[in-house]
Structure 1
């Protein structure tokens, strides 16, 4: 449920904004859209390490159980949003931030609790199931969000309540501390510097996709630059700070362990690629393919979730099997092959037309799910096996940070790449398409000059933006047939199809390269390494044994 909540709003945003009576595409409302997308993911990326370290010190089960309580209370508050318009959006954003605090507690400590509970020769199976549940949640969120958005927008948030209540009762009743507990105190300076630095960096990258001045993106915005540069400086300072702290939040010495360092780099790149894939497939289905095949804009979230089922099925098929196999053969072959398969599917998606035959799309996305499943469980098992028992909470949190930061980074990276692709071709397509339906050349030129981010967000939300771009006054001057065509189901999808594919080439080639680099990092992580219980983290070579 913690990871479902990271993606469930992606596909149900149209219903949510309609429910609170807010148009996210109006000037000034884009920030609501961005924070609804990134707030939950950003907070989990920032806090998951801190809560992992707190679990090491005060007990992993204690922090985990408290996370269930906070997560559930926030879900109840989200369901009872009493406001509309901007106030309603702020209520949802604020309580999703609170829910992310609870989700961070769950996410940071679940892997460590399982690592404590299972011997090394069975951890692949146990962590495989856990990792599959976590990442499958990001896929299930798309399906569940589409279904629930069709029923009622509040149901998108209420779905967490019964699971949260049952989970809270179950965890307090059944879970007991069995792992080694570390000693020491909380590294407050490290927590503060890391939190501020990562927040500034991720927020700056995300706001970089908004237009600034005459530019289609905001990379020249002084505030964006300040956030990115300042965030990087703080994170560099954080590394030096942690190397000089006796009991750091983020044990940088763990990166001397090859399996830990390589596994986390591969996880970061895989997470960026996976996040980008989700965004692009949602735009592709909701904004183009489904309307072209006769589906109303109101029903596209539901059907987009249904048509993405092969991706989820492939992941669920490969994940548990790969986790079990990694107990016997190690993670390197499985995780490396998995990421190479993911890279191949990114290229394959470029070879099918925008208005594809569904069977081809289903096979490619199924194989992408297979590749992701082959990578995820073995890679997480290798990471957790490589660290000392007293550092498992921190290691789990650090690994979660890389995964969640990758999801957040994908918003800024892939939307910016797509905007760059659209900027080269969309204006001409808008100009010719509008004038062909009777719109005056001056008006068409004005619409074509608008930043492409608006059209991209419209496709992402499954909206036809032409009505708001032209306005009722211009539409009223056109003959009824042209006005109907411009505001119908097919004009905008046809218009954006070719420019979208131009942007898709940039996005998916970048994602394929990231997957290949991740595969190389996974390959270089070594064979099946299991940490021998010892307090000498400073000499990881002596603390590792090769099975």
Structure 2
């Protein structure tokens, strides 16, 4: 409300600079580069183009060029995966996925981010249009979920170290996230703000129960010399999951109401339809993630 949404991107610049300095100067004793290692430039380029084409295509469906772009992007994803198999200097160590605990946890992570990332996008539009809130008021409401997640993630991270079956917490977390997603599918023109807060609280609780425990399983399921690859794989699943989530959201909005720019009182019904469909797709992905989480296997290093 005070400075405009465009300036928000500039606020991340000092944070990015600070993070870069911490990474380059603060972990000299912990980071040990592989002197014989090489950066997989070819794989990086294939992956980058694949992401660009597939996401650009999905978000602009059903245009003909968008369909072509999506298909080419998916083909390049297949090429990228094949490029990583047997690649000594790979970005993504495919052999790790032979470990059921590792692969199941990674799939659960992907499903979690793919199911939940677009929530903030829809809620921001919902609260400021149908909810008639200002940007500041909507932001204060939406901070509920990350606040709950921030406060409780360390708690569940410590708790997962004390229990034998480490799949329990992330599985329950996925179930709670699914409950939260279901509530979003019931929103209408008169949904009270208390329901919105409850939805976000449940979602924050669910993600807090899932995030740290699931990462613990991933990192503990691989030999110590492969923890860096495991960490990179988690980041890969998170990034792709977020992009898939937004890709689905934009595709549904494009198909139903043309563009989010068309949001006005006359199109509130169409927006709710788009939100319901998107949240339903997310709910299905979350259920798949919960099932995968429950049957991922027992982590064991090899």
* TM-score (norm. length: structure 1): 0.51
Matching residue of 2:189? 354
Size of the aligned set, in residue pairs, is: 300
Contact in 2 for aligned 1:206/1:409 (Cα 8 Å): no
The question of 1:316 aligning with 2:150 is answered yes
Residue 152 of structure 1 and its aligned partner are, at CA, apart by 5.0
- CA-to-aligned-CA distance 1:498-545 (integer Å, 9 cap, x gap): 333222321221111110001111112223x253xxxxxxxxxxx0xx
Matching residue of 2:272? 501
Matching residue of 1:453? 258
Out of 41, 44, 50, the residue aligned to residue 191 of structure 1 is: 44
The question of 1:515 aligning with 2:296 is answered no
The whole-number CA distance in structure 2 between the counterparts of 1:240 and 1:161 is 36
Change (3 A) 1:246 1:153: closer
3-state SS, counterpart of residue 258 of structure 2:
helix
The whole-number CA distance in structure 2 between the counterparts of 1:193 and 1:154 is 31
The whole-number CA distance in structure 2 between the counterparts of 1:343 and 1:416 is 21
The question of 1:335 aligning with 2:170 is answered yes
- CA-to-aligned-CA distance 1:78-98 (integer Å, 9 cap, x gap): xxxxxxxxxxxxxxxxxxxxx
Matching residue of 1:408? 243
Change (3 A) 1:414 1:162: closer
Higher relative contact order (CA 8 A, sep 6+): 2
The whole-number CA distance in structure 2 between the counterparts of 1:254 and 1:509 is 32
Q: CA RMSD in A?
A: 2.4
3-state SS, counterpart of residue 28 of structure 2:
coil
Change (3 A) 1:167 1:241: closer
3-state SS, counterpart of residue 250 of structure 1:
coil
Residue 285 of structure 1 and its aligned partner are, at CA, apart by 0.9
Change (3 A) 1:517 1:174: same
Structure index of larger Rg:
1
Contact in 2 for aligned 1:179/1:389 (Cα 8 Å): no
Instruction: Structure 2 unaligned segments of length 5 or more: list them.
Output: none
Residue 305 of structure 1 and its aligned partner are, at CA, apart by 0.5
Out of 194, 198, 220, the residue aligned to residue 363 of structure 1 is: 198
Contact in 1 for aligned 2:47/2:80 (Cα 8 Å): yes
Out of 160, 163, 176, the residue aligned to residue 28 of structure 2 is: 176
Out of 119, 135, 141, the residue aligned to residue 307 of structure 1 is: 141
3-state SS, counterpart of residue 236 of structure 2:
helix
Out of 195, 206, 215, the residue aligned to residue 380 of structure 1 is: 215
